[in-house]
Structure 1
């Protein structure tokens, strides 16, 4: 399984200059945090942020004695910075990504705002289906803030053995709502499940197809974001 999440960021520097800034903050055990650059091109860079965390494990033995073990953990966040599209992509990120956000902002003298994005998963799906060239079936769909009547909202999850989009349209029937998440079942030429979220994240169930799908997912997300931005 692979997880990707995108954030909106307009970088004040070109990619190669940003790469040089990050190299000045290379990870070392002495500092305890920093970056390692993997690849740099004119329009993107791929890197990882590493944070060294030290903590103590406390274990009680059968006689009631307390045993302390010093531990060191290296938390890594893979990321991709681009000048086009959302601007920042995180790959298999840990639960907390605030340290990475802080260090990236610090590297550009706090001249960038990194914000969560909002996208309609069905718009994202439409572009993705066109670009990936495969047949997609929505077998699960999560609806939030569905207005049953004024002042009363519901959250609903639809699941089926066939595509649930028509059932979703019948259920919402022009009521106020938000599509929060959809699960796609890929057919030929791919096999596997993909979950698209309104927060700009995707989970690809099969790691073997992630490399094939990530580029059309990126491109279709950028299109869906532009569509969402232009919708009144």
Structure 2
């Protein structure tokens, strides 16, 4: 619980604030209503994630979990859109570095002043990924470790294995966003984000399909988990 609250405080509160700010800046001129609606959505997501932590291992946790994953799907799509936009420009961060937008503040002439902020949208998105990366890496390691913990039941091991695949996908997406600002790294960034998105989305589909079917996919998950475990063990034996 302590780790989950730490993750909520940094990854979701700080990272979410940066993401919200990036969305406002990318949108250009934003009305008070649009800004307020975006902030209300951010607070709703934050509250939903906090509620999901409190309802874990309860029947109600499935409801909040599906909603949280729904917002996660949007975040994955936003990551894909971000890196593909950068990949379409030969210059480092070309689109964002050259974008001008209105700051929405009326001057003495009554016209909104145009403000040029080189790379700020890119910087904010990279900041979000940099905050998320260590948490997603730790989650990947922790969940895969539990997936092969013999003290846990098979169903729980399978659940942790599927969650580990999802966290690995999130890690790839974080790494892809960071790689997108490295000169020449845009192509690698797209590959990382697409691969990560496929892993994350696939894990969510398997998780909820398995829950909805009452564990009908457990045998298949166990087969894959055990196969990967044997492959890793074989590789370890070679290098040991």
**TM-score grouping bracket, smaller chain normalisation:** under 0.3
More strand by share: 1
Q: TM-score, normalised by structure 1?
A: 0.25
More helix by share: 2
Q: TM-score, normalised by structure 2?
A: 0.24
